[in-house]
């Protein structure tokens, strides 16, 4: 017996059961399912090969709470930020980041965030609710449409690095990835997907137990507990030692790539002593890369980006000690679309 009101919660066999129960043919279920997951229908009226009466019946029996594009902003570097509106009026943001080799979608997992990281604009917002798996999926589908329209190229990568902490919306994040990677949907390789976390040790281990197939990134941003406590309150209950243990557990179970993300803040975590502490952490984790990220200023925060020479000294020191390090240059800074800047802030729409 079909009980869910959310039609996207139903499997294909459950949809067939529903159509049989209303006296219709099973193949209608296949048509509806393809509209949901191949054609990315965001309204029952979009399902044009179903009769008008059947579309009305579906609308009576089910909900299709899809998100829609509210505002788009175009950066000088080609990055596109979209503000999406949910069915209940909340706003979230996602970003399309095009480069020569890849087109990446950066998507949100929560409306706001509860972690209050001091350098992050989203952290200054209250968490309203978790996003449903379908709402996360919709972001990817809409950003893929933008990628095809603007760059004649499908998405190549997805990063869960937008608004919210993905591992505090565990079930919906994993279910959205299941849909994105399903052969009857987008069929994207899980190796092209990276979930970023501020560090929820218990849930990192759960990822290992669930033997997920996607990659993981840890937003570290400080090389000692003392310094990390000052900028990321989550560290008080998820210390660096606990995270090291959890990441090793995750790797032992999955063998998936782990990246350390490290934003440089002037005179806070950018000294050679800090680099030495970071090297110690790197040696304890089977991580394949440290991404050194330039800080993107946000309103009301006291952090400052180091100058280029200081950044170069820091990364050269890591490389000299056989650390695989890369400087990740931020994209979309002019439209507040860069790392840490997503907060539904309006600018001129292009």
Residues classed as catalytic:
93, 339
Among residues 71, 74, 64, 75, which one has the least CA distance to residue 35? 64
Residue 319 CB: number of other CB atoms within 10 A? 13
Q: Are 31 and 47 in contact (CB under 8 A)?
A: yes
């Amino acid at each position: 017996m079909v009980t869910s009101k959310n039609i996207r919660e139903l499997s294909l066999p459950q949809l067939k059961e529903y159509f049989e129960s209303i006296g219709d043919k099973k193949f209608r279920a296949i048509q509806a399912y393809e509209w949901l997951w191949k054609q990315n229908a965001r309204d029952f009226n979009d399902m044009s090969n179903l009769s008008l009466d059947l579309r009305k019946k579906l609308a009576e029996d089910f909900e299709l709470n899809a998100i829609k594009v509210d505002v788009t902003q175009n950066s000088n570097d080609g990055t596109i930020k979209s503000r999406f509106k949910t069915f209940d009026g909340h706003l979230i943001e996602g970003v399309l980041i095009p480069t020569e080799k890849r087109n990446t979608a950066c998507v949100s997992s929560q409306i706001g965030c509860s972690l209050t990281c001091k350098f992050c604009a989203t952290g200054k917002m209250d968490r309203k609710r978790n996003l449903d798996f379908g709402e996360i999926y919709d972001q990817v589908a809409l950003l893929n449409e933008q990628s095809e329209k603007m760059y004649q190229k499908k998405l190549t990568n997805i990063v869960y690095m937008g608004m919210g902490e993905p591992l505090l919306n565990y079930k919906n994040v994993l279910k959205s990835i299941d849909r994105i990677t399903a052969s009857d949907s987008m069929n994207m390789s899980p190796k092209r997907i990276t979930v970023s976390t501020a560090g929820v040790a218990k849930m990192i281990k759960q990822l290992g137990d669930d033997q997920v197939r996607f990659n993981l990134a840890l937003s570290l941003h400080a090389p000692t507990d003392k310094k990390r406590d000052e900028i990321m309150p989550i560290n008080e209950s998820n210390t660096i030692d606990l995270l090291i243990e959890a990441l090793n557990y995750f790797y032992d179970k999955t063998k998936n790539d782990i990246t350390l993300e490290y934003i440089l803040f002037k005179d806070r975590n950018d000294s050679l002593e800090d680099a030495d502490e970071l090297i110690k952490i790197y040696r304890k984790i089977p991580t394949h890369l440290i991404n050194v990220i330039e800080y993107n200023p946000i309103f009301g925060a006291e952090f400052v980006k180091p100058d280029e020479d200081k950044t170069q000294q820091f990364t050269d020191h890591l490389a000299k000690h056989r650390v695989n390090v890369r400087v990740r240059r931020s994209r979309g800074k002019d439209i507040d679309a860069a790392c840490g800047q997503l907060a539904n802030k309006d600018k001129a729409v292009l």
